[in-house]
């Protein structure tokens, strides 16, 4: 029987979280098992449990780490509008790259990841001049838009990847179906079909952020 070579160097929580992130990025939540992690790190269960309590704790720690990298670059003293757009786009791109993050954020709202997002968005909206009586609602609405749109985009991308469908071909097929609809019954959808082939999810997401900021600017 072949022997399993165990690592002899120190195993830190940071190293475990990085390995967990690699597994999650490679195969989604289903790929993150303690057996897969011990194999990936060439270590035993005891070494893992010394740093994390269980699989759920590890998933949450990986989410905190990914989001922290986005929020660390937030410059609160910068122009609030520019900073809010940067935060929103950073989260959109991060969830697109790590689709499992979006689902995890909704499970444990007391974790540092979501708290940091709310804190940064709230402080920036305050600096943007949103009145105090509207601040909590505005922050909640913007955070929900960011995470909802980013999560849906990541889910759509995963569906296309799993079905091995080219995004451009998919949009062209949808646009063709929409264009055949009765323009009297679906006038807006019929117009949208002409732009769907060139649709850019990232640009549309950022347009939504700009529309939101234009709206809350009227409250000042």
Residues 6, 16: Cα–Cα separation, whole Å: 15
If pLDDT is split at 50, 70 and 90, which confidence band does 152 have?
very high
More reliable by pLDDT, 3 or 154: 154
| pLDDT of 2 strictly over 60 | no
89: exposed, middle or buried (Cβ count in 10 Å: 0-12, 13-18, 19+)? middle
Per-residue pLDDT at 5? 46
Q: Please state the rounded mean pLDDT for residues 137-150.
A: 96
How confident is the model over 26-84, as pLDDT tens digits? 998 999 999 999 999 999 999 999 999 899 999 999 999 999 988 887 766 779 999 99
Per-residue pLDDT at 157? 83
Question: Pick from 175, 2, 143, 132: which is nearest to 71 by CA?
Answer: 143
Per-residue pLDDT at 75? 67
Query: Structural domains in the chain?
Result: 1-52 (1.10.10.60), 70-217 (1.10.357.10)
If pLDDT is split at 50, 70 and 90, which confidence band does 8 have?
very low
| pLDDT of 169 strictly over 80 | yes
Angle at 210 between CA 204 and CA 214, to 5 degrees: 145
Sign of CA dihedral 82, 101, 205, 126: negative
Per-residue pLDDT at 4? 43
Per-residue pLDDT at 1? 40
Question: What is the signed CA dihedral for 176, 178, 181, 183, rounded to 10 degrees?
Answer: -120
Cα→Cα distances 31→3, 44, 71, Å = 24, 18, 26
Check residue 78 and report its DSSP letter: S
Q: Give the CA radius of gyration of the chain.
A: 21
Per-residue pLDDT at 36? 94
Per-residue pLDDT at 220? 78
Question: Pick from 96, 78, 217, 208: which is nearest to 151 by CA?
Answer: 96
Per-residue pLDDT at 196? 86
Other C-beta atoms lying within 10 Å of the C-beta of residue 39: 13
How confident is the model over 194-210, as pLDDT tens digits? 888 888 999 999 999 99
How confident is the model over 88-128, as pLDDT tens digits? 999 999 999 999 998 888 887 788 999 999 999 999 999 99
| pLDDT of 193 strictly over 80 | yes
């Amino acid at each position: 029987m072949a022997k399993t070579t165990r690592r002899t160097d120190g195993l830190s929580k940071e190293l475990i979280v990085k390995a967990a992130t690699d597994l999650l990025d490679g195969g989604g939540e289903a790929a993150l098992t303690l057996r897969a992690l011990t194999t990936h790190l060439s270590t035993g269960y005891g070494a893992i449990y010394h740093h994390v309590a269980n699989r759920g704790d590890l998933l949450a720690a990986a989410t905190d780490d990914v989001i922290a990298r986005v929020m660390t670059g937030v410059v609160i003293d910068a122009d609030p509008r520019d900073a809010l757009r940067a935060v929103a786009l950073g989260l959109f791109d991060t969830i697109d790259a790590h689709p499992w993050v979006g689902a995890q954020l909704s499970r444990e709202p007391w974790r540092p990841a979501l708290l940091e997002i709310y804190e940064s968005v709230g402080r920036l909206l305050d600096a943007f001049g949103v009145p105090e009586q509207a601040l909590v609602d505005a922050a909640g609405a913007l955070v929900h838009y960011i995470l909802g749109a980013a999560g849906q985009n990541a889910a759509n991308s995963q569906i296309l990847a799993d079905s091995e469908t080219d995004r451009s071909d998919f949009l062209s097929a949808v646009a063709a179906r929409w264009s055949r609809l009765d323009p009297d019954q679906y006038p807006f959808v019929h117009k949208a079909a002409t732009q769907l082939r060139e649709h850019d999810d990232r640009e549309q997401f950022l347009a939504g952020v700009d529309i939101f900021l234009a709206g809350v600017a009227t409250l000042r």
